[in-house]
Amino acid sequence: MGSARIVVIGTGYVGLTTGACLAGLGHQVTCVDVDEMKVARLAAGRVDILEPGLEELVSRGLATGRLGFVVGSRRAVADAQAVFLCVPTPMGAGGAADLRAVEAVIDEISGTLPAGCAVVTKSTVPVGTAQRIRGLLGRADVPVVANPEFLREGTAVADFLNPDRIVVGSDDEPTARWVAELYADLAAPSVVTDAASAELVKYAANCFLAMKLSYVNAVAELCERLGADIESVTDGMGYDRRIGRSFLKPGPGWGGSCLPKDTHALVQVAESVGFDFSLLSAAIGENIAQRDRIVAKIAGAVGGSLAGARIGVLGLAFKAGTNDLRDSPALSVTAMLAAHGAEVTAYDPAVGGDLPGMRIVDDPYQTAKGADAIVVLTEWAEFRNLDWTYIADLMHGDAVVDTRNLLDPKVVLATGLTWLGLGRPRARVLAR
């Protein structure tokens, strides 16, 4: 299809990635935000989000004139063919998605949307939101489309440009197919369905991944108790094409901007129709228990009590490749350490400034000075290449708790330090 006139409302990592990538596909895109200073920075090509390839894509869009940034939605949508809603839908009271930002945008633009303009929800929204938006718009001449995103922070641009699938849903099938055609150059399979099904796809996918992560964390705990090795177990599982290898790495728990709120939201949606989604509730409970287990492992590594213990933390972002701290399991663990009386010094290559309950340093080796234990909480590759002999010299204690199984145990153990991973029996590690 030819170039479409698209307005993207919201310039968070989903909105900015969506806008920049659609412009890269040849569409004329205007990105809207309420933050005047943020809009000015973006219009100058300055991107605050740490996302590989995004700043270059924004600069290219600005240079070609296909990408622009403005403040305020009402006038921006006046000649749009499609308006993508990419505003926050955070966890609200009781775990349900908070749709106030979506509702505020609809209230602002409903009177100026041109007839036939598609309102497209890119934000993760509960099942029934498309129908709710239609009611709020009060306009039969404006179709509403659900087009969920499947972007992972740290690989969002690559995910957008190389998608597994495009999911589009609407009760107006011709409009749904037109929206799917916006992505035609990506040559990805399209699932065109009704709005409710498209909305549920995003929740069902994310919640499945959350359950898979909770499952592998529980299996890792079982490995420790039975003397098995989680790496051998997941290696054997991963060859099964029905299971696959992704999301089979144990860690300190899942977090970020999506999985926590989406799991709680789907539990709430299920309850609203009288269904007890106990399987998903158990996965949420397992995720909380995992953080408790990590803190207990650290306490055991320093003699049983964290009171007065000096803990060096490597990694604060919820995953490597991003500076996002939203619902980071690393922050949950460090907060629990501080609550138990530990003195926490932390380093993350993408996180600076001040955070409660810890001292943040700009050199990873500073976390080791006088530390009773070093704890790896985010899987930054650079941590593998640290000088662990130097770290051993700096430390007061000898414990390295690797909650991501990131480090080479032999390298750490060769320095005289003790390495504790997840689901990895020490004797088996030493024998390899």
Q: Which residues are annotated as a binding site for NAD(+)?
A: 33, 38, 89, 124, 153, 261, 326
CA–chain centroid gap for 101, Å, is: 20
Contact of 146 with 173, CB cutoff 8 Å = no
- Tokens 């340093």 appear where? 361
Active site residue 258: yes
The helix-helix angle for 195-226 and 278-301 (nearest 10°) equals 40
Catalytic residue among 31, 117, 207, 258: 258
Annotation: binding site: 33, 38, 89, 124, 150-153, 202, 247-251, 255, 261, 319, 326
Residue 430 burial (10 A CB sphere; 0-12, 13-18, 19+): exposed
Give dist(CA 221, CA 206) in Å, integer. Answer: 23
Binding annotation for substrate:
150-153, 202, 247-251, 255, 319
The kind and range of the H/E element at 105 are helix 100-109
Q: Going by C-beta distance under 8 Å and a sequence separation of 6 or more, which residues neighbour residue 135?
A: none
Please report which helix (H) or strand (E) contains residue 55, including its range.
helix 54-64
Phi, psi of 118, rounded to the nearest 5 degrees: -85, 125
> What does the buried/exposed string (b/e) look like for 18-28 if buried means 16 or more CB atoms within 10 Å of the residue's CB?
bbbbbbbbebb
Q: How far is CA 352 from CA 205, 312, 315, in A?
A: 33, 15, 11
Positions marked active-site: 258
